[in-house]
Structure 1
Amino acid sequence: MTKTKKLINAPEDIIPQLVSGMVAAHPDLLSVEGDSGRAIVAVDGPRDGKVGVVVGGGSGHEPAFAGYVGRGLADAAAVGNIFASPSPEQILDAARAVDCGAGILFLYGNYTGDVMNFTMAAEELEAAGTAVQQVQVADDIASAPVERRDERRGIAGDFFVFKIAGAAADLGEPLSRVAALAQKANLATFSMGVALGACSLPQTGKPNFEIGDDEMEIGMGLHGEPGIRREKLASADSVTDELMDTILGEMAPKPGDRVAVLVNGLGSTSQVELYIIFNRLKQILDAREITIHRAWVGEYATSLEMAGASITLIRLDDELTTLLDHPCRSVALTVGAVESGSTADVRSSRKTAASTNAPQASPSAPVALNESGLITPTIFRRMMQHAGDQIITERDWLSELDGVIGDGDHGVTMEIGWKAVQAALNNAPAEETIEGSCKRMAKAFLDAVGASSGPLYATAFLRAGAAVSDRRNLGPNALALWLAAALQGIRDRGRAEAGDKTMIDAWVPAVEAAQKAAASGSELAVLQAARDGAEAGMKATADLESRRGRSAKLGARSRGHIDPGAASTYVILRAMAAAMEQEAAAQ
């Protein structure tokens, strides 16, 4: 496979350098707030009594999401890794920076990772007394039928939903009203796209899917997820006709209706092509006597260097039209003229107050721990380090599996998370308990990754550690308990079950096998059984049709392919067993 070329430095420095460069280029519009370095905040936006609008998602879609931070638009954006949701801590940094007493609205695309991470952040804010509401943008009509509209993913329709919500907040509407107007815009927005060529992740330098020179993918997702079908490449007018027929078929506009239009390039589509698409689009709307109130043509929500385009229409009434026309100023979008005035002092004073009022943890009394079992805290940490090594080794394989039915970043995401875990464990004191190391791992993984893997594995580590909090060492039964608690944490956080074609399909047989093997009295037997159960479960996912996550949009097209989450589960449990085999050989 041909390697792609990008003007980057070290892959691990991409996001910090992106953030630094963007803020340096627009110091009159943007600043960075919070310890995570991933919260981009409007210099001129947040103010006392105003709802704080926080948007966010993975990088690689620029100018989305930080490009829509500014007066009259979003107050802050949480910036995730390439194609991966920001972590709860990054989202919290953004929210705290713009919390001006009227509550926070989270706006983001309807993807599993974003839903989990923003929800975790919302729970923490609400526990601290801040009112939070959330709206998941779900405009991609190719990703689910209308009767399951709440399952649709968000693509370029973010553009209109952000604009409407930002205007409502700027006008002083209360939180419930801003959220309701954002949802109204969401329900009035319809998108569909086409891809002609793949993009490539900076960490791998490989196209994240394959497509023939004479082919196009109808309904492609914004991360390179496969669409609804693959066809021979057609003319611009034919493609526009197909996209518009589907959009208008669901929108069902009447003569005299008003719409706003976005013709969006996915990263490497020329303006020439985009204007040709718009030309045909206008002919179609003119023939139906539908008025275009406003139109934007260009790159507003990209997918790295993917070739292709999407069309988005929002049906307007008087209320939405007024909000769409409300002045705003940001890197990616300016409408009219805005009144400016820096609000940095307001944010700084509120952040200081929030830090001052933060609850302080009380030291807990020491507890006598059960020391039976061969797996000491030191051996446990070596097992986790080896799991990280194996994930890093298998990164490209995991990403290739994900590229077939997802967005191609699973291996990269897992590598980032496990490298963070390894670094955190390197700093663990020798006397730290297994529960303490699990907490350390959970925070490291979640802060580093976000995405869907972050909340899932963070919850798994926390639950597993809590399940053995009364122990210093792990014996066979305690090890099986640790694995079962990890599985339950993933189930509770992700709401997936066996048969959904997710990592659960590897975890369930792994835990069942481990529990049976625990009766043998051998820690090694437990891990070997878990490894073998995970391998069988992973292979069985090839016969399943996906019902959860991004690949669920594929339906029957997901059959015949191993689930990447199940594969990484197998890699982790295989590594843990191998580490224990090494310990046994050394004794």
Structure 2
Amino acid sequence: MTWLFNRPSDFAKEMVAGFVSAHASMVRQVPGGVVRNTQSKPGSVAVIVGGGSGHYPAFAGLVGQGLAHGAAMGNLFASPSAQQICSVARAANNGGGVLLTFGNYAGDVLHFGLACERLRAEGIPCETFAITDDISSAPLAQKEKRRGVAGDLVVFKAAAAAAERGDSLAEVLAVARRANEQTRTLGLAFSGCKFPGAEHPLFTVPEGKMGFGMGIHGEPGISELAVLSSQDLAKKLTSALLEERPQGIAQTKGARLGVIVNGLGSVKYEELFVFWHDVQPLLQDAGVIIADVQIGEFVTSFDMAGMSLTFIWFDEELETLWLAPATTPAFNRGSVLPHKPLDPVQREQSGEVNIPQGSEASRACAATVMTMIDALTNTIVANAEELGRIDAIAGDGDHGIGMERGVVAARAAASHALKQGGGAGTLLQCAADAWADEAGGTSGAIWGVILNTLGTTIGNSEKPDAVIVAQAVSQASSGVMHFGKAKPGDKTLVDVLQPFSQALSAAAEEGLSLAAAWRKAGVVAQQSAQATSQLLPQIGRARPLAERSLGTPDPGAVSLSMIIDAVGACMTDDAREKVCP
């Protein structure tokens, strides 16, 4: 369990503040994460890493000369928002473009993808890369669905070393891809981790068993097995990793190999050394040349009792990049790199966001939008426990908590924008960023897309009518499917959002008022949400336990339907108010 904390909700923020204070010569804090506090080569590519907090030294501990230029960090086990990622990337940008790299989790893919598009729109060349080294999370034929675990370090290090030597953005991306292709990881857990202040662990493993192949957030693995001796465990992991060699490694004899033995939180260094003692002779028998060994904690999971084994199949360039010098708070190798502090001008970072002024008509509409946000917030807060219960059937049970964090933050941001004279569009965009920041994860990213698209389409000049709102919802639906990669039938929020959008557009074309059109489409949304109970999830964390969810609606679909109802209840049929009632 976690012993040292104050308010659990403040843990991540206080952790980052303490980390930055302790390592002020190397890193500085910016909104959304940390960046180098030392000068980087002008014109070079900036490598930005990131993900949820709770995995130290990933991700902040890997920021420094020779490794990452910045780390975007979300709440505990929750992806950072697009706004947070953009903030870190802007602060770290050296003029050569930005590579955003992260583990392959749905929320991270969504948020980093959104951030990439925003940065490109601002004129900053940007690419993204999701790491997929965990061989237990999907078969080789579907390796693009695999999770990123301790192999994150390999990709981060190789890409950053390529950036350090002056490679272009395209070349750094190519190095990241090759490092990922050459890296394989397999891990396990003996017990679950517990968040600060939590009464129960995030997941449990039966006594005397181990979760073989389990992910760093407790995602299901291959199977539950009886706990083995270190020697037997070494044989099991080593043989599995040797069997799945990358293309181009025809045989193990003579191949050069890097090895990472990673502790996930509670397994001590002494135990990891015992495990390596059992792995080494197996590799020697296989004829591989052990080029480098790293033993310790690199990607953790709070106090999870578990470990992982990673193999890096080197080519000459990849080995050179892996062995290149680096100096960070948590990872050091080679000769010490010079640390030249930033000058005061470079250190300045303004977190203030100017609120664009809306027209008189749009400000009046914004007041109505604020009422709607109040209503949907109250609805989600009142139903958070039930949403969590639905999510726990096949997922991790955090949908209600995440949605509650998101709506409460969105309401505060919207209220601030309203007081500053923002129009309806600005109100929704501010709510979008705050929701994504605080909720994190997949739902945070999705609602960030929805509200931001609505705000952009509605704008700050005119009162939107039913047709404009229908167009905005349609674009939001397309945006969610584009960034989230979900399709109708995958058992996600899309199974409500798309039919609702279609029904709203049809009603608007009939000439109905916005209130009437919204209510008519809301009936479709309710029916669609309940219909998801007959679907099996095809993506996301519920996919490995798909059968369990049969007969239960998707929590994201249910929460969207609730929000649609809450917003509809705020609308009026007043014939004089056919726009933004």
Structure 1 position 382, deviation (Å) = 2.4
Cross-structure match for 2:70: 76
Query: Partner of 2:175: helix, strand, or coil?
Result: helix
- Write out per-residue CA displacement over residues 49-70 of structure 1, whole angstroms, 9 at most, x where no aligned residue: 3322211111011110011111
Distance 2:564 2:92 in 1: 42
Match of 1:227 among 208, 221, 227: 221
Q: Cα 1:61–1:488, aligned 2, differ >3 Å: closer, same or farther?
A: same
Query: What is the correspondence of 1:247-286 to structure 2 with a 5 Å cutoff?
Result: 247-251=241-245, 253-286=251-284
Cross-structure match for 2:321: 323
Aligned-residue identity in percent: 36
Task: Tell me the TM-score normalised to structure 2 length.
Answer: 0.85
Distance 2:511 2:222 in 1: 49
The more displaced of 521-530 and 145-154 is 521-530
Cross-structure match for 2:579: none
Cross-structure match for 1:299: 297
Q: Cα 1:126–1:477, aligned 2, differ >3 Å: closer, same or farther?
A: closer
What code does the residue aligned with 2:264 have? L
Match of 1:394 among 383, 389, 405: 383
Structure 1 position 576, deviation (Å) = 3.5
**Preserved contact between residue 88 and residue 450 of structure 1 (Cα < 8 Å):** no
What code does the residue aligned with 1:566 have? A
**Preserved contact between residue 226 and residue 405 of structure 1 (Cα < 8 Å):** no
- 1:443 matches 2:433: yes
Distance 1:210 1:532 in 2: 40
- 1:504 matches 2:531: no
The more displaced of 293-302 and 481-490 is 481-490
Match of 1:567 among 558, 561, 568: 558
Structure 1 position 46, deviation (Å) = 1.8
What code does the residue aligned with 1:31 have? R
Query: Partner of 1:461: helix, strand, or coil?
Result: helix
Q: Cα 1:161–1:488, aligned 2, differ >3 Å: closer, same or farther?
A: closer
**Preserved contact between residue 435 and residue 465 of structure 1 (Cα < 8 Å):** yes
Distance 2:331 2:504 in 1: 55
What code does the residue aligned with 1:275 have? F
Match of 1:418 among 407, 410, 416: 407
Task: Tell me the TM-score normalised to structure 1 length.
Answer: 0.85
Structure 1 position 112, deviation (Å) = 2.4
- 1:28 matches 2:25: yes
**Preserved contact between residue 480 and residue 526 of structure 1 (Cα < 8 Å):** no
Query: Partner of 1:226: helix, strand, or coil?
Result: coil
- Write out per-residue CA displacement over residues 107-142 of structure 1, whole angstroms, 9 at most, x where no aligned residue: 211222222322332233333333223322111112
**Preserved contact between residue 423 and residue 460 of structure 2 (Cα < 8 Å):** no
Match of 2:374 among 376, 385, 393: 385
Structure 1 position 172, deviation (Å) = 2.9
Cross-structure match for 1:41: 35
What code does the residue aligned with 2:8 have? P
Query: Partner of 1:71: helix, strand, or coil?
Result: coil
Distance 2:47 2:235 in 1: 36
**Preserved contact between residue 530 and residue 573 of structure 1 (Cα < 8 Å):** no
What code does the residue aligned with 1:112 have? A
Distance 2:68 2:192 in 1: 30
Distance 2:43 2:482 in 1: 36
Distance 1:469 1:487 in 2: 18
Cross-structure match for 2:4: 7
Query: What is the correspondence of 1:148-159 to structure 2 with a 5 Å cutoff?
Result: 148-159=142-153
Cross-structure match for 1:19: 16
Distance 1:387 1:370 in 2: 20
Cross-structure match for 2:86: 92
Cross-structure match for 2:311: 313
**Preserved contact between residue 88 and residue 118 of structure 1 (Cα < 8 Å):** yes
What code does the residue aligned with 2:325 have? P
Q: Cα 1:574–1:311, aligned 2, differ >3 Å: closer, same or farther?
A: farther
Distance 2:124 2:363 in 1: 41
Cross-structure match for 2:484: 494
Cross-structure match for 1:177: 171
Cross-structure match for 2:124: 130
Structure 1 position 22, deviation (Å) = 0.4
Cross-structure match for 2:532: 541
Q: How large is the Cα RMSD of the aligned pairs?
A: 3.6
Distance 2:557 2:88 in 1: 33
What code does the residue aligned with 1:493 have? F
- Write out per-residue CA displacement over residues 284-342 of structure 1, whole angstroms, 9 at most, x where no aligned residue: 21221222222222221112222222111111122222222212111221112213131
Q: Cα 1:160–1:477, aligned 2, differ >3 Å: closer, same or farther?
A: closer
Distance 2:37 2:496 in 1: 47
Structure 1 position 179, deviation (Å) = 2.2
Query: Partner of 2:293: helix, strand, or coil?
Result: strand
Q: Cα 1:363–1:417, aligned 2, differ >3 Å: closer, same or farther?
A: closer
**Preserved contact between residue 496 and residue 502 of structure 1 (Cα < 8 Å):** yes
- Write out per-residue CA displacement over residues 146-170 of structure 1, whole angstroms, 9 at most, x where no aligned residue: 2222222211101111122222222
- 1:455 matches 2:427: no
- 1:163 matches 2:157: yes
Structure 1 position 418, deviation (Å) = 1.1
Distance 1:466 1:26 in 2: 40
The more displaced of 155-164 and 247-256 is 247-256
- 1:211 matches 2:205: yes
What code does the residue aligned with 1:545 have? L
**Preserved contact between residue 186 and residue 241 of structure 2 (Cα < 8 Å):** yes
What code does the residue aligned with 1:125 have? L
Q: Cα 1:235–1:574, aligned 2, differ >3 Å: closer, same or farther?
A: farther
Q: Cα 1:292–1:391, aligned 2, differ >3 Å: closer, same or farther?
A: farther
Distance 1:384 1:363 in 2: 20
Match of 1:333 among 310, 331, 334: 331
What code does the residue aligned with 1:192 have? L
Distance 1:238 1:94 in 2: 44
**Preserved contact between residue 71 and residue 338 of structure 1 (Cα < 8 Å):** no
Q: Cα 1:82–1:284, aligned 2, differ >3 Å: closer, same or farther?
A: same
What code does the residue aligned with 1:325 have? L
What code does the residue aligned with 1:223 have? H
Cross-structure match for 1:56: 50
Q: Cα 1:450–1:271, aligned 2, differ >3 Å: closer, same or farther?
A: same
Cross-structure match for 2:416: 427
Distance 1:183 1:385 in 2: 45
Q: Cα 1:396–1:184, aligned 2, differ >3 Å: closer, same or farther?
A: same
- Write out per-residue CA displacement over residues 171-203 of structure 1, whole angstroms, 9 at most, x where no aligned residue: 333333222222211110001111222223447
What code does the residue aligned with 1:82 have? L
Q: Cα 1:362–1:57, aligned 2, differ >3 Å: closer, same or farther?
A: closer
Structure 2 unmatched ranges of 5 or more: 575-581
Query: Partner of 2:174: helix, strand, or coil?
Result: helix
Q: Cα 1:272–1:49, aligned 2, differ >3 Å: closer, same or farther?
A: same
Structure 1 position 223, deviation (Å) = 1.8
Cross-structure match for 1:121: 115
Distance 2:440 2:242 in 1: 36
What code does the residue aligned with 2:535 have? L
Q: Cα 1:349–1:206, aligned 2, differ >3 Å: closer, same or farther?
A: same
Query: Partner of 2:94: helix, strand, or coil?
Result: coil
Distance 1:6 1:540 in 2: 44
Q: Cα 1:407–1:169, aligned 2, differ >3 Å: closer, same or farther?
A: farther
Query: What is the correspondence of 1:509-528 to structure 2 with a 5 Å cutoff?
Result: 509-511=499-501
Structure 1 position 475, deviation (Å) = 7.6
What code does the residue aligned with 2:200 have? K
Q: Cα 1:327–1:145, aligned 2, differ >3 Å: closer, same or farther?
A: same
The more displaced of 532-541 and 522-531 is 522-531
